[in-house]
């Protein structure tokens, strides 16, 4: 009998310790923690004991290299088996683990590494080239540790395997509780990306929400398809399943519905957590593809990222023969707050009901609670363990999220008479594309660096595949004409400098970008132009 | 007719990697960053560079760089 863990075990603890050593202490050392399938489906198993020893080595490595508690260590890697030991090792050593999408370009990297004062980055040789382009602007970055190369090292680079070869596997872990643990950057509608900080005791929310929503059994096989750089990938792709002591699958290959379903079938996946964009991509293939797979072993499918359209739910029931449970949370909340989950009946299109510990309300502009069926601001009573503890270096922005005793999510929603929550939109300009938040400001700032562009304004617009696409309105410099070649150049510029996620899906040439008298882009007017509707009050618009 | 080096040149621009060189056997799994998002950009860049157009059905059939090369050359013929 494997001993159960109490909330006290989690509250006082260290995420790195709970996800490895504590599982070994429970007698799970020989159990598979992560079964990693590379792009060719070659299997590498990592047991809880392996994970514990290797993450101990990473913690020792950081200490021996002189990194101290509280310093920021970033992971800039594609999906790979090393991510788990590095993430947990950073936390065991008391450093703050920051995440970066492997698709980020130099500008996106500079924004995040510079703002955080990052001390060390774990990456691959080839990807390090993007950091090297901006390294002169990163004086605090002392080491770039390459997991795939010990040779031909450049400035500040070190080889991971060479370093680990001399490092012991025993490490005495301190319990950090309320100390900072994880740093995710998220986009707001204004300014640069903000560093969202969570503490070690956030693990209480990860595990309690995992139990309430996913309801895992001890022998379950779990697969969360989220990138580990995304909050879902860390909270539910690393922390929750490891803290629960179950086995999980990770796959490094690109999306292919046949391969993904064959993995579910072959590996006997019980719980599958993915994104609506993935499900919409699956819907584009002929239904016959799915007929050959036996998914009867799969107990539940869950979704996260952007609202799950009723069409996807119906398709899941008809084609995959499974209901799809939509869930809701944000980088700032750290863990699921609202969800469809068994045994409650799903209302297609609703994000479900608040979890048992969550106090949620819908407020009007004056902070008054709205009755059912009314659209207002989705707010949460603060105090849950995984609530973010700050935006790094942006105290005012952090404080602005808490008003009249509630955390304001920025989402607009309504609650029906049965307690189900329905997403209705955002009350800011952030663009949700494939479940990732894109800041219009970040895209605008980057585009203004292009020689051909005089001015730019960016909005999000509905898209049938990715929920919202990035739409860029550009004013070109004199004598520059919009051509298909220039449109492609603009897209590639954002893809390579910021991220493929932020790439405009549509580019519209205009003679003038509407701005108010303080010079701020009037996105409301751009949205009206895009939708062909009346822009309303234009009295604050700047004159020529 | 184009060759694999012509196609490599487009890959280098799209994936911002001056050292990238593709082979006909390569798949999306072999090239860092080649996912559903960059795939759209890649096809747009190939269309622009060689003055061709792909249709949706063709796009789904591409498994390897060799498939892409054959399709481009089929259209240029």
Nearest C-alpha neighbor of A257 from the set A290, A292, A299 = A290
Residue A235 sits at the vertex; the CA angle it makes with A229 and A238, to the nearest 5 degrees, is 75
**H/E element holding A212?**
helix A203-214
Which of B9, B15, B16 to probe the A interface (max A CBs under 10 A)?
A: B16
Q: What is the ipTM of this complex?
A: 0.89
**How many cross-chain Cβ pairs, A to B, lie less than 8 Å apart?**
54
Task: Say if residue B77's pLDDT is above 90.
Answer: no
Q: What's chain A's length in residues?
A: 544
Task: Using a CB–CB cutoff of 8 Å, tell me whether A500 touches chain B.
Answer: yes
Before A482, cis peptide (omega within 30)? no
- Across the interface, of B17, B29, B48, the residue whose CB is closest to A39 is B29
Q: Are strands A43-47 and A32-37 parallel, antiparallel or unpaired?
A: antiparallel
d(CA B26, CA B8): 11
- Could you tell me which chain B residue has the CA closest to the CA of A485? B48
Q: Quick check: A149 contacting B, CB < 8 Å?
A: no
**Nearest residue in chain B measured CA to CA from A128:** B17
Which residue of A102, A485, A495, A505 is the best one to mutate when testing the B interface, meaning the one whose CB has the most B CBs within 10 A? A495
Place of tokens 């379903």: A261
Distance from CA of A499 to the nearest CA of B (A): 10
User: What is the structure's pLDDT at A450?
Assistant: 94
Q: Which residues of chain A make contact with B26, given a CB cutoff of 8 A? A: none
Which has the closest alpha carbon to A340: A328, A322, A325? Answer: A325
CA angle A210, A202, A205 (to 5 degrees): 30
pLDDT at residue A8 in the model = 76
Is A448 within 8 Å of chain B by CB? Answer: no
pTM: 0.89
User: Strand, helix or coil at B67?
Assistant: helix
pLDDT digits (tens, 9 = 90+) for A233-292: 999 999 999 999 999 999 999 888 999 999 999 999 999 999 998 998 899 888 888 988
Residue pLDDT, tens place only, A330-370: 999 999 999 999 999 999 999 999 999 999 999 999 999 99
Q: Which residues contact A184 (CB under 8 A, 6 or more apart)?
A: A98, A99, A195, A196, A198, A230, A231, A234, A331
**Of B30, B38, B48, which is closest to A495 when you measure between CB atoms?**
B38
Q: Which of A39, A255, A496 sits opposite B36 (nearest CB)?
A: A255
* Ranges of chain A with pLDDT below 50: none
Q: What is the pLDDT of residue B37?
A: 84
């Amino acid at each position: 009998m494997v001993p159960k863990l109490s909330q006290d075990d989690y509250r006082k603890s260290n995420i790195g310790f709970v996800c490895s050593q504590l599982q070994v202490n429970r007698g799970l050392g020989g159990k598979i923690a992560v079964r990693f399938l590379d792009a060719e489906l070659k299997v590498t198993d990592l047991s809880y004991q392996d994970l514990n020893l290797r993450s101990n080595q990473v913690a020792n490595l950081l200490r021996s290299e002189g990194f101290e508690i509280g310093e920021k260590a970033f992971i800039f890697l594609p999906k790979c088996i090393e991510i788990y030991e590095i993430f947990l090792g950073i936390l065991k050593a008391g450093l703050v683990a920051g995440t970066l999408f492997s698709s980020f370009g130099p500008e996106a990297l500079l924004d995040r590494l510079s703002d955080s004062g990052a001390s060390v980055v774990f990456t691959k040789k080839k990807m390090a080239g993007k950091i090297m382009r901006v390294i002169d602007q990163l004086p605090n970055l002392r080491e770039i540790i390459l997991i795939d190369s010990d040779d031909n090292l450049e400035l500040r680079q070190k080889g991971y395997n060479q370093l680990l070869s001399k490092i012991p596997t025993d490490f005495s872990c301190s319990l950090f509780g309320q100390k900072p643990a994880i740093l995710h950057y998220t986009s707001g509608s204004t300014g640069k990306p903000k560093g969202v900080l969570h503490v070690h005791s956030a693990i209480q929310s990860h595990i309690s929400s995992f139990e309430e929503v996913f309801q895992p059994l001890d022998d379950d096989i779990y697969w969360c398809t989220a990138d580990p750089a995304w909050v879902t990938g860390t909270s539910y792709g690393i922390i929750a399943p490891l803290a629960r002591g179950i086995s999980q699958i990770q796959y490094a290959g690109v999306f292919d519905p046949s391969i993904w379903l064959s993995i579910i079938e072959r590996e006997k996946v019980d719980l599958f957590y993915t994104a609506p964009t993935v499900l919409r991509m699956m819907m584009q293939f002929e239904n016959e593809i799915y007929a050959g797979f036996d998914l009867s072993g799969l107990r539940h499918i869950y979704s996260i990222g952007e609202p799950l359209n009723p069409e996807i739910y119906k398709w899941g029931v008809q084609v995959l023969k499974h209901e799809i449970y939509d869930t809701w949370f944000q980088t700032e909340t750290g863990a699921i707050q609202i969800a469809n989950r068994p045994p409650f009946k799903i209302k297609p299109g609703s994000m479900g009901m608040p979890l048992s510990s969550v106090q949620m309300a819908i407020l009007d502009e004056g902070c008054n609670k709205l009755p059912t069926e009314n659209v207002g601001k989705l707010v949460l009573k603060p105090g849950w363990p995984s609530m973010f503890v700050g935006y790094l270096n942006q105290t005012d922005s952090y404080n602005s999220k808490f008003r009249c005793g509630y955390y304001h999510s920025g989402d607009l929603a309504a609650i029906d008479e049965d307690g189900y929550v329905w997403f209705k939109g955002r009350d800011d300009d952030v663009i949700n594309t494939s479940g990732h938040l894109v800041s219009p400001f970040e895209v605008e700032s980057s585009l203004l660096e292009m020689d051909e562009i005089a001015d730019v304004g960016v909005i999000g617009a509905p898209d049938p595949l990715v929920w919202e696409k990035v739409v860029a309105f550009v004013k070109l410099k004199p004598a520059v004409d919009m051509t298909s070649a220039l449109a492609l150049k603009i897209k590639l510029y954002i893809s390579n400098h910021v991220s493929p996620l932020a790439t405009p899906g549509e580019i519209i040439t205009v003679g003038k970008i509407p701005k108010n008298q303080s010079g701020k882009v009037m996105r409301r007017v751009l949205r009206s132009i895009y939708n062909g509707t009346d822009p309303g009050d234009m009295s604050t618009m700047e004159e020529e | 007719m184009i060759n694999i080096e012509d196609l490599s040149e487009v890959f280098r621009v799209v994936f911002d990697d001056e050292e990238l060189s593709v082979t006909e056997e390569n798949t999306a799994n072999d090239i860092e960053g080649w996912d559903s998002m960059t795939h759209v950009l890649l096809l747009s860049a190939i269309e622009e560079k060689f003055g061709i157009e792909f249709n949706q059905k063709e796009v789904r059939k591409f498994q390897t760089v060799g498939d892409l090369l054959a399709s481009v050359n089929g259209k240029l013929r």
